[in-house]
Structures are given as structure tokens and as C-alpha cells.
Amino acid sequence: MKKIRRNFIVIAMLSMFLVLSVIIAALNYINYQKMEKALDDVTRILEIGNGSFYESPDPSEEDHDPSIHSYQEEDNPKAHNKVPEPPKSISEETPYQTRYFTVRYDASGTIYATSVGHISAVNATQARSYAAEVYDSAPGTGFIDIYRYRTVKSGDRVLCIFIDAEKELSTYRGSLITSIAISAAGLFSVFLLLCIFSKLILRPVEESYRKQKQFLTDAGHELKTPLTIIDANTEVLEMEIGSSKWLDSTRNQVIRLTNMVKQFTALAKMDEAQGFLQKSRFSLSHALSETVDLFIPVATSTHRTLQVSCAEDLYYVGNEEQFRQLFCLLLDNAIKYSAPDSTIELTLSKRGKHLCFIICNECNGLEKGSQDILFERFYRSDSSRNSSTGGSGIGLSIAHSIVENHKGSIHAENPDGKTLQIKVLL
């Protein structure tokens, strides 16, 4: 249940993280676009005003400078056109709040005018340096340092407009950092809540899981007595009336049910033993060799051959009894479901930091590809259901639990359509 709870928290946190990431990214992207548009509106007004904020001449002004008017007509053909309505982001205070400077290039690419009268942080030399970096981008807009620029071509001349965007950039960065910080705090709060309430949320699942384990244990104990009685009665009948195929069939079914009950009990104990294994350092090579020796007579009697490749002196820290049981289960499965007169290959080797055990046998009735479904409890393929092997669909599930309890991995695969390969990595 700890694993289920941990997975639940991880999945919930990942989902929350993805949703918040999308929301934060969308909000900050929109804010950035708004900031760019507001700054570009200002540079556009300066472009229309030929490098200054355009103001319609006041008819009452008698000291109007005709030289400025003629200069604007020469440099800005738009001066005769009606001034467009300013964007909503431009207010009457904008000309007094905006820090900007301009640089002008003639047809030969030489600077012939520099205006830094509306900014104190930049001198003429610095202004020309900034202009040189953006000159080739004309016409265009962008950022350079803390300035938003617009380069405008008017005939053969180029006007470079720069406005101070430090305040806007600082506001945007502050908004970005704040949104990330609030989201991080929210994620942490959700994590704490999940840690506190996940046990309550998963209580029905835990209760169902507990009842399932209890059922396996109880069923194992309850079935032992009637099976013992049936077996004893069969022996009495055999003594009284002699052997018959009906009594032999009954005895075989009793043996099968007895083995199934033992597996029920083993499976329940395996679940209860998670995290409480008694571990010691032992020779995995020796454990495999001894287990194989036990199965050689069984394999020979069923016309199977065991081919073993086992590296010497491979040691592992774990529960030796469970690993001997693991080898027994995998060998028993291979002998039961392999093709007659075939070879069962077993390999134990070291791969980097891992110990690898592989068992292969010829097998019919399985599709090509992954066969991890074989480790599900009570699962049996169609071919094994129709056979007389006596399997119950629990053995490989127990094998999976043993490997999982030791933090290893076990996978089944049919690589070529006719071979079942089970690989254990420790």
C-alpha cells in the first residue's frame, strides 16, 4: 500500500505541476506580449513624430519655428497626413514619462544626427554604439539591453528610436518571479495536503487489499482440513476396493488443490513480508546450481533438457530461501509449459552493477512481444488452461512478488513468436 500511496502522490503532483506550468506560461506570455505592444505603441508614436512626440501645432502659437516644420516635411513624408488616433496605452502624460533617444543615418550609412536630450542615462557616444548594433535590422523592432528599439527606413535614410523599458521589464520580471513563487508555494501546500489526506483517500483501496490478503490466508487454512479428509477417504477406499482410475483422478485433484492452497498461503505471506525481509549475503550461483540439480530428474522424465550457464561466486544480499523458491517456480513453469523434447536454457551472469538471471524455453500459444501479463495473479493463457499441467496461475505471481520485494525487476517476453524468455535483474 505504501507503493500505491507513493504513486498516487507522485501522479497527483505531476498533474498539478503540468497544469500550473501551462497556466503560468500562458499568463506570462500574454503579459510579455502586452508589454511589447505598449512599448511598440510608444515607438510608433515617435516614428510618426519623426523622432519626437508629435503634437498638432497650436494655431494661437505665434512663435512657431518654420525651420522645424520644413525639417519634418523633408525627413517625414507622413507629416502632411492626418495624425492617427493614439493607442489607448498612450496617455497625455506619456511624452513626459518616456525616456528616449534617437540616432539618424543618411543614405551612405553615416550618422548625421543624435538626440539624447530626453534621457540622462545615455550619452551621444553610447547612443551611436546602440544604433550601430541595430542598424542592419531596419526596419524592425526588438530589445537591446534595457531599451526597446524601432528602426525605420524613410527613403535612403534610417531612423533608430530607443525608449527606456527598464520599468516595464522590471515589472514583467517581478510578475514572472511572483507567479512562479506562488505556484511553488501552492505545489508544496498541495503536497503536504496529499501526504496528510492520501491515506484517507486510499483507505477503501487499502481495506479491499487487506480483505483480499485475509481471504487468501483464510481460504488456505479452511481448505486444508477438507482436502486432508478427502485424501484420507481416498486412501481408505483404495484399501477396500483397490486402485481405480476414478480414485487416481481424485487423488491427482487433491494434490493439485493442496499445491494451490500452499501457493495461496505463500502469496499472502509474501505480501505481508514486504519491507520486513530477513536478508543475508549468500551465493546466488550455489543456490541456482542446487535448485537445478533437484529438477534434472523431473526434466529428464518429461523429455526436457536443462542447459545451464552459471557464473561462479556471484553473491547477493537478500533472502536466500525466497530466491531458491524463485528458481523453483521459474524452472517448474518452464518444464510444465515448454515443448516436448526441447531444451530449457538458464543463464546467471553479472552485467555491470546488476546480476542477471535469464530462463528460456520453447513455448506455443503466446503472441510475439511482451508477456508481463503472465505475472498477474490467476492469469493463465488459453493453451495452459486446456492442458493437463495442473497450473493455477499463481506461481509466476509469487515469483514477481519475490523480485519486487528485493527491489529488482522481472520481465517476460516472446522475442521470436516461439520462445518465452523471463529475465530477472537484481
Give the three cell numbers for residue 354.
Answer: 546488476
Q: Give the residue-averaged pLDDT of 332-350.
A: 89
Half-sphere exposure for 245 (CA within 13 Å, toward CB): 0
Q: Output the CA angle 212-218-221, nearest 5 degrees.
A: 145
Question: Would you place residue 7 in the very low, low, confident or very high pLDDT band (cuts 50, 70, 90)?
Answer: confident
Answer whether residue 193 is part of any domain.
no
Q: In whole angstroms, what is the distance from residue 263 CA to residue 269 CA?
A: 10
How many CB atoms are located within 10 Å of the residue 318 CB? 22
Q: Could you tell me if 35 and 114 lie in one domain?
A: yes
SS3 label, residue 390: coil
- Among 272, 301, 325, identify where a domain stops: 272
Q: Check residues 184 and 73 and name the one with the higher pLDDT.
A: 184
Q: What is the pLDDT of residues 231-242, one digit of tens each?
A: 888 888 888 888
In terms of Cα–Cα distance, which of 206, 226, 190, 422 is closest to 327? 422
In terms of Cα–Cα distance, which of 163, 167, 51, 25 is closest to 112? 51
Q: What is the pLDDT of residues 344-403, one digit of tens each?
A: 999 999 988 899 999 999 887 778 888 888 888 766 665 554 445 555 567 788 888 889
What's at 393, amino acid-wise? G
What's at 35, amino acid-wise? M
Q: Give the residue-averaged pLDDT of 16-29.
A: 95
Q: Could you tell me if 366 and 254 lie in one domain?
A: no
Q: In whole angstroms, what is the distance from residue 419 CA to residue 364 CA?
A: 8
In terms of Cα–Cα distance, which of 320, 310, 309 is closest to 283? 320
DSSP for residue 107: T
Q: What is the pLDDT of residues 300-316, one digit of tens each?
A: 888 899 999 998 889 99
Phi, psi of 66 (to 5 degrees): -65, -25
Instruction: Reply yes or no on whether the pLDDT at 58 is more than 70.
Output: no
How many CB atoms are located within 10 Å of the residue 254 CB? 19
Q: In whole angstroms, what is the distance from residue 196 CA to residue 188 CA?
A: 12
What pLDDT is stored for residue 54 in this prediction? Answer: 60
Q: In whole angstroms, what is the distance from residue 339 CA to residue 418 CA?
A: 10
Tally of domains in the chain? 3
Q: Could you tell me if 264 and 332 lie in one domain?
A: no
Q: Could you tell me if 317 and 342 lie in one domain?
A: yes
Residue linked to cell 550618422: 111
Give the three cell numbers for residue 268.
Answer: 499472502
Q: Three-class SS string for 293-353? A: HHHHHHHHHCCCEEEEEECCCCEEEECHHHHHHHHHHHHHHHHHHCCCCCEEEEEEEEECC
Whether 346 and 288 have beta carbons less than 8 Å apart is answered as yes
Q: Check residues 395 and 296 and name the one with the higher pLDDT.
A: 296
Sign of the torsion angle spanned by Cα atoms 386, 410, 324, 415: positive
Q: Check residues 324 and 267 and name the one with the higher pLDDT.
A: 324
Helix or strand (DSSP H, E) at 282: strand 280-283
Phi, psi of 344 (to 5 degrees): -105, 120
Which domain CATH number covers 217?
1.10.287.130
Instruction: Reply yes or no on whether the pLDDT at 267 is more than 80.
Output: no
Answer whether residue 185 is part of any domain.
no
Answer whether residue 43 is part of any domain.
yes
Answer whether residue 198 is part of any domain.
no
Q: Could you tell me if 256 and 286 lie in one domain?
A: no
Q: In whole angstroms, what is the distance from residue 208 CA to residue 210 CA?
A: 5
Answer whether residue 189 is part of any domain.
no
Q: In whole angstroms, what is the distance from residue 158 CA to residue 128 CA?
A: 13
Q: In whole angstroms, what is the distance from residue 309 CA to residue 297 CA?
A: 18
Instruction: Reply yes or no on whether the pLDDT at 117 is more than 80.
Output: yes
Whether 314 and 283 have beta carbons less than 8 Å apart is answered as yes
- Among 248, 272, 296, identify where a domain stops: 272
Q: What is the pTM of this model?
A: 0.57
Percent of the chain as helix, strand, coil, to the nearest 5? 55, 20, 25
Q: In whole angstroms, what is the distance from residue 392 CA to residue 336 CA?
A: 12
> What domain range includes position 126?
2-55+64-169
Q: Could you tell me if 261 and 294 lie in one domain?
A: no
Q: Could you tell me if 242 and 364 lie in one domain?
A: no
How many CB atoms are located within 10 Å of the residue 286 CB? 15
Q: Could you tell me if 25 and 164 lie in one domain?
A: yes
What pLDDT is stored for residue 63 in this prediction? Answer: 40
Q: What is the pLDDT of residues 128-157, one digit of tens each?
A: 999 999 998 878 899 999 999 999 998 889
Which domain CATH number covers 130?
3.40.1840.10
Q: Could you tell me if 258 and 377 lie in one domain?
A: no
DSSP for residue 50: T
Question: Would you place residue 59 in the very low, low, confident or very high pLDDT band (cuts 50, 70, 90)?
Answer: very low
